[in-house]
Amino acid sequence: MKVSRYSISTLRETPADAEIASHQLLLRAGFIRQVASGLYNWMPIGLKVLQKVTAIIREEMNAAGALEVLMPVVQPAELWHESGRWAKYDEGQLLKFKDRHERDFCFGPTHEEVITDLARQELRSHRQLPVNYYQIQTKFRDETRPRFGLMRAREFMMKDAYSFHLDAASLQQTYEDMHDAYSRILTRCGLTFRPVQADSGSIGGSASMEFMALADAGEDVIAFSTDSDFAANVELAEAVAPEREAESGAPAERVATPDARTIDDVSETLGVDPARTVKTLVVAGADSPAVALVLRGDHQLNAVKAEKHPAVAAPLLMLEPDAVRKATGVGIGSIGPVGLSIPMVVDRAAAALGDFVCGANDEGFHTIHVNWSRDVGEIKVEDLREVVEGDPSPDGQGRIALTRGIEVGHIFQLGTLYSEALGATVLDGSGKAVTMTMGCYGIGVSRIVAAIVEQHHDDNGICWPLSVTPFEVTLIPINAHKSEDVGAAAEAIYQDLRDAGIDVLMDDRDRERPGAKFADAELLGIPQRVIVGDRGLKSGTVEVVDRVSGTSTDVPIADVLTHLQSVLR
Ligand code: ATP
Ligand code: MG
């Protein structure tokens, strides 16, 4: 390909609203262009990368025995009513619309409903199982906060797969096969990643694992053990119950804390460590107006854990100050567990305190030396908090450390959640109808492209891994319009490389200065750069520069092809 015939348009300036490297660089290098919030055009050079990632995924899915299908992006509301998700899918992420007959439809954010409908029609006998269908397709989710370019778009490319089984053992086998296929896919894409235990979120189901590409720009936080292979999304990571302290027996005492609104204020006023205080958060209850969640002052509430509790409304809703006052009779800064009239759940670490400070349920007062059994009585104890660095690892080995990751894939054991709702059964060996057990497996194809850039870039631009690079070599003639020799030599090398099957982009722009061409080559991230100039030609050589190391080698023209073949293969 020649740049003069290709649409390359790079930007010198970093677009103002692009916060992370992948978003900035993919825009600057002209791989994508924004249409509207969360909607992007893929330019020719960007689409080449997307297609290479897609090809790797397709190869590995096929090798794992999955069967490719293509389902419609537009889905009828009826199926979503059957599954019960029409009203409640992910807080309004479902884009709904009506057709000319006023029938309800949505733009598919995921395809459990459609595939289960397909399976209940196509799969009749246990002999057809197990089967794993996949597709690579556009999804739409009306994300609350589309941002970071391809990372959290509204329209994006996903590979989604759904497997059907007679029993749990068969599901487990396919789940493991998908785990291995995902590991191979991400490795081939050049990603450093970690599979972590995950929450199953709105899709529901039991076992689930996320594949996290490690990157500081990641929106997820991973808790892992310093001494074992335990790793979990912090959304899910268990905070181990500490040893319960003996209660102090010291007499409880009411103290005035007139200006103390926060835990920090209270600790400072009373001269106590925040870890010896408890805070009481008030949230909407599942079937009561308010529920109190009690945590140690230095700990943070984990919303995912809290909303799993049967007494707590999901999604989690913190009550506004007025609602809190109405429910408890006291303002937010002075609530405490002693004599509280609303239902209460206490975090394990708060429950382990033998003596603590808390709000006195009286405006401007706190109580010190509170003891649970003496002052509060029977309490409901749960794991409600976010783990922190240094916590013991839940598997009993080592301590928790935290790192950031980008969720590029997610595998779930769904069980019979959808097959039961939609009545997807097969006849087993004895002719009895059995509800199929399901798994589902998603990969963010376009998000992978962003994750690769997060892990493979430097100050000058992108550094594509060979497996996904849009071109393998960029060929830069220097001042070819002034030197016929340069033009002819570059053209000859261009033809040789192409004949040998090397994907080469020749920057044949006449009016661009060499410096600008070099800068573009670095920005585009093509692994090898061949520079053809008058000076080298005098000694029969060209300069070959490696994008990542920056190493420059003078290579005799006759050896250019073999040199490139050896560094590229
Ligand atoms: P997230 O927690 O990041 O919103 P999710 O749990 O909603 O992801 P899944 O429903 O498991 O995601 O979708 C499968 C894969 O699709 C994800 O692992 C991710 O790689 C990708 N994906 C999800 N939402 C987006 C998005 N808004 N933009 C790009 N890719 C996405
Ligand atoms: Mg999501």
Task: Confirm if 225 and 393 have CB atoms less than 8 A apart.
Answer: yes
**Both tokens of residue 494?**
């261009």
**Any ligand 1 atom below 6 A from CB of 541:** no
**What is the average pLDDT across 158-177?**
97
> pLDDT at position 204, please?
52
Nearest CA to ligand 1 atom 25: 152
User: Which atom of ligand 1 is the closest one to the Cα of 141?
Assistant: 27
Q: Which of 113, 154, 407, 454 to mutate to test the pocket of ligand 1 (most atoms within 8 A of CB)?
A: 407
Strand ranges (E), 492-536: 504-506, 528-532
> pLDDT at position 569, please?
85
Q: Taking 60 as the threshold, does the pLDDT of residue 112 lie above it?
A: yes
Query: Class for domain 253-382, per CATH?
Result: alpha beta
**448 — pLDDT class (breaks 50, 70, 90):** very high
Who wins on pLDDT, 275 or 481? 275
- C-alpha distances in angstroms, 164 versus 47, 92, 106, 137, 303? 33, 29, 24, 20, 32
Alpha carbons 231 and 419: distance in angstroms, whole number: 30
In the three-class reduction of DSSP (H, G, I as helix; E, B as strand; rest coil), residue 470 is classed as coil
**Any ligand 1 atom below 6 A from CB of 418:** no
* pLDDT tens digits along 373-432: 999 999 999 999 999 999 999 999 999 999 999 999 999 999 999 999 999 999 999 999
Q: Compute the chain's Rg from CA coordinates.
A: 30
**What is the average pLDDT across 244-248?**
95
Task: Return the CATH superfamily for domain 17-237+402-453.
Answer: Bira Bifunctional Protein; Domain 2 (3.30.930.10)
**Any ligand 1 atom below 6 A from CB of 429:** no
Q: How far is the CA of 109 from the centre of ligand 1 (A)?
A: 9
Task: Confirm if 163 and 61 have CB atoms less than 8 A apart.
Answer: no
Nearest CA to ligand 1 atom 4: 152
Percent of all residues in the chain with a pLDDT value above 70, rounded to a whole number: 99
Nearest CA to ligand 1 atom 14: 442
pTM, rounded to two decimals: 0.91
Task: Return the CATH superfamily for domain 473-568.
Answer: Anticodon-binding domain (3.40.50.800)
* pLDDT tens digits along 62-76: 999 999 999 999 999
Cβ atoms within 10 Å, residue 390: 10
Angle between helices 560-568 and 484-499 (to 10 degrees): 50
* pLDDT tens digits along 198-213: 876 655 557 899 999 9
**Any ligand 1 atom below 6 A from CB of 347:** no
Q: Where in the chain is the domain with CATH 3.90.960.10?
A: 253-382
> pLDDT at position 92, please?
87
Q: How far is the CA of 450 from the centre of ligand 1 (A)?
A: 13
Q: How far is the CA of 417 from the centre of ligand 1 (A)?
A: 20
Contact residues for 160 (Cβ-Cβ < 8 A; gap 6+)? 110, 111, 134, 135, 137, 139, 440, 441, 442, 443
- C-alpha distances in angstroms, 409 versus 83, 191, 193? 23, 12, 10
Q: How far is the CA of 378 from the centre of ligand 1 (A)?
A: 41
Q: How far is the CA of 520 from the centre of ligand 2 (A)?
A: 34
> pLDDT at position 203, please?
52
> pLDDT at position 49, please?
98
**Any ligand 1 atom below 6 A from CB of 447:** yes
Query: Vertex 148, ends 211 and 91: CA angle to 5°?
Result: 75
Q: Determine the number of helices (DSSP H) and then strands (DSSP E) in the chain.
A: 15, 30
Alpha carbons 239 and 255: distance in angstroms, whole number: 32
* pLDDT tens digits along 82-105: 999 999 898 789 999 999 999 999
Q: Where in the chain is the domain with CATH 3.30.930.10?
A: 17-237+402-453
**231 — pLDDT class (breaks 50, 70, 90):** very high
Average pLDDT of the chain, as a whole number = 95
Nearest CA to ligand 1 atom 28: 152
> pLDDT at position 199, please?
76
Tell me which ligand sits closest to the C-alpha of residue 220.
1
Tell me which ligand sits closest to the C-alpha of residue 195.
1
Nearest CA to ligand 1 atom 11: 410
* pLDDT tens digits along 505-546: 999 998 889 999 999 999 999 999 999 999 999 999 999 999
**Any ligand 1 atom below 6 A from CB of 408:** yes
Alpha carbons 526 and 475: distance in angstroms, whole number: 10
Q: Taking 80 as the threshold, does the pLDDT of residue 457 lie above it?
A: yes
Q: Where in the chain is the domain with CATH 3.40.50.800?
A: 473-568
Q: Taking 90 as the threshold, does the pLDDT of residue 232 lie above it?
A: yes
Alpha carbons 118 and 109: distance in angstroms, whole number: 17
Q: How far is the CA of 305 from the centre of ligand 1 (A)?
A: 20
> pLDDT at position 102, please?
98
Nearest CA to ligand 1 atom 8: 407
Q: How far is the CA of 547 from the centre of ligand 2 (A)?
A: 35
Tell me which ligand sits closest to the C-alpha of residue 109.
1
- C-alpha distances in angstroms, 185 versus 182, 428, 536, 569? 5, 34, 41, 19
> pLDDT at position 201, please?
60
